[in-house]
Amino acid sequence: MARVDVLSRQTLEYAAQGEQSDALFELGLSYCTGRDGTVDLVQAHKWFNIAAMRGNCEAKRYRSELANDMSKAEIVQAQRLAREWLASVH
C-alpha cells in the first residue's frame, strides 16, 4: 500500500474516532473496494457495522450485501473487531 493510501485510511480512522457515521461509512467503502489498498471484506464489514450502529442507513445496506460474499467465520471476526473498536473509543 502506498504511503498516501495509508495516510488516507489513517485520516479516516481519526475522523471515525469522533463517531461520525459518514467517516465510518467511508472506511467501509475504502476496504470493500480496495480504493486505498487491498480489498479486506472483514474490515469493510466492521466499519459498515459501526457506521450502521451510528445511524448510517447506507451502511446497513452495504453491510448486508457484503455479508453475502463472506463466510460465517469472517462475519463473526468482523463483529468481534467492531466490538473491540467500540470498546477502545469509550
pTM of the entire predicted model: 0.80
pLDDT tens per residue, range 19-62: 577 888 988 998 999 887 789 999 999 999 999 998 899 999 99
Distances (CA, A) of 43 to 15, 19, 25, 67: 16, 17, 11, 12
- Residue 84: how many other CB atoms lie within 10 Å: 10
Render pLDDT for 59-84 as a digit per residue (tens, 0 to 9). 999 999 999 999 999 999 999 999 99
DSSP assignment of 5-62, as one string? HHHHHHHHHHHHHTT-HHHHHHHHHHHHHTTTSS--HHHHHHHHHHHHHTT-HHHHHH
